[in-house]
Amino acid sequence: MNKLIVFFIINGMFNLAANFAHPITPTVIKNLALGDYMFGVAYGAMMGLNFLFSPFWGKLNEQINSKTTMLICGIGYAVGQILFWQSTSQTTLIFARMFSGFFTGGAYVSFLTYIVNVTPVEKRGQNLTILATVASVCAAFGYFIGGMLGEISIDLTFVVQAIVLASSGVLFYIFCNNDCNTIKKQKLSVLVKQANPFISFKPGREVGNIVLKVEGLSKTVEGVKLLNNVSFSINPKDKVAFVGDVKATEVFFKIIMGEMEPDEGTYQWGVTTSQSYFPKDNSKYFNNCDLSLVDWLRQFSVKDEYEQDLRGWLGRMLFSGEEALKKASVLSGGEKVRCMLAKMMMAEANVLVLDEPTNHLDLESIQALNQGLINFKENILFTSHDHQFVQTIANRIIEFNETGILDRLSTYDEYLEYKENNK
């Protein structure tokens, strides 16, 4: 039998069994004398671990292949359901749900990774559609079968579920192909670090003594002189917040990133620098782009990234599972920002240039970005309207004004105090 057909059958088995326990979960909770709210708490605990560790499983697939990961996760998920069955309190129930969630994410990542790796590009969309259809249909039937088994016996439901889940992992391992021919061994600690779902910028190399030198830069736009004979140098480790005229900052960033020519003056990047740019207007990166997010990110790869690597970067920015297959052209403003940040993380640049990066982001994402920039050890040139964001990142403030610039080696609050005292 065609191994791809076998794969879809195993995927169907897994999705059937994964949903056996859902219809009887309220009864399990009631038997423990817990409130109805525990259904949501338990499910949230499971899905939380599923989300947090999906990037980790993606990286692990690269090391040991999808079928080995699926073997681990099929058996692990079965054990988690047995623990759920044997729960005696609220604490043990939540632990069991979290245990299952840890392995559930790995199973679904393995299915997706496998079908992408073994399918030719021209048939990938078709096979992913089949995978999603099989998963959805079998999940629905799984609810039905679980309910019928629950009418007979709750114990029987859990036993059958654990057997089918573990069997799915074993059958996948035995009958499906090895989808990882090039295995790169890494320590588990490195995998966990790379799979971190938060924002982290890692420079490919350290910046040398010269970062950026600006001399006599001037620019007039629509009759307004935005940059007036601007001169300064950026030193290693400077994290510079540009304030004052927001249009002047936008134009300055465009000039130093090669998107606009100055009227007068020059700028020069140090030979050891590499820049990654977050523009205020990112529409040119997404408009009329029918690529999936994985293929969109692949365009900007600085090295030969594996499919799992690309999904890992996207996973850090909350695009996990099928979310990574969305079309780039249909993203919301916040999703576009998250994609741009994934692109910047992947670039491993040692100079980050960011023009209002917090626009469209929710509070959690802003905090993650804030911490990522605080932890970054090299140079940052940025502007933001968020006071706390600027205060916690910048160690130097440059203000664009009518006469040129005001350059202060200070925090943002110290700069504001200086301005207040020198009115």
Q: What does the pLDDT look like over 211-244, one tens digit per residue?
A: 999 999 999 999 999 999 999 999 999 999 999 9
Q: Are strands 351-355 and 275-278 parallel, antiparallel or unpaired?
A: parallel
The two tokens of residue 72 are 């681990």
* pLDDT recorded at residue 182: 43
* pLDDT recorded at residue 198: 65
Please report which confidence band the pLDDT of residue 246 belongs to, taking 50, 70 and 90 as the band edges.
very high
The residue-averaged pLDDT of 342-368 equals 92
Please report which confidence band the pLDDT of residue 310 belongs to, taking 50, 70 and 90 as the band edges.
confident
pLDDT digits (tens, 9 = 90+) for 151-168: 999 999 999 999 999 999
Question: What's the number of CA atoms in the CB half-sphere (13 Å) around residue 271?
Answer: 0
Residue 323: left if φ>0, alpha if ψ -120 to 50, beta else—which one?
A: alpha
The residue-averaged pLDDT of 366-381 equals 93
Measured CA to CA, the distance from residue 326 to residue 328 in angstroms comes to 6
Q: Which of 10, 6, 11, 13 is nearest to 161 (CA)?
A: 13
* pLDDT recorded at residue 121: 74
> Any idea which of 87-91, 116-120, 327-331 has the lowest mean pLDDT?
116-120
Measured CA to CA, the distance from residue 363 to residue 318 in angstroms comes to 14
Contact 340, 276 (CB under 8 A): no
Q: Are strands 239-244 and 404-408 parallel, antiparallel or unpaired?
A: unpaired
**pLDDT above 60: residue 344:** yes
**pLDDT above 90: residue 64:** no
Q: Which residue has the higher pLDDT, 64 or 141?
A: 141
Q: Which of 342, 396, 346, 333 is nearest to 369 (CA)?
A: 342
**pLDDT above 50: residue 104:** yes
Q: Are strands 239-244 and 379-383 parallel, antiparallel or unpaired?
A: parallel
- Sort 129 into a burial class: Cβ within 10 Å, 0-12 / 13-18 / 19+: exposed
